[in-house]
Amino acid sequence: MGVGDTALRRWVAQWRAQKAAPPRTADQISADAQRIKELEARVADLEREREILKKSTAFFVKEMDRSLK
């Protein structure tokens, strides 16, 4: 087959682990979806904060340059 023994054993172990895992309930899926929404909102907030900080840094650097001249 051209596949190493170790790789084949690992694939079989992964397949068995996936097969043995209990199916997720609707509540678990719903909780995950809610968590994803919360995390996406947090990422959006952090991105806005980063943009504000970048702009304020650029502003203060320009102000410092002006005051040094």
Q: pLDDT per position in the chain (69 positions), as tens? A: 688 889 889 999 999 888 877 888 999 999 999 999 999 999 999 999 999 999 999 999 999 988 887
DSSP type of residue 21? S
Helix, strand, coil in percent for the chain, rounding step 5? 85, 0, 15
> What's the pTM value of the predicted model, to 2 decimals?
0.58
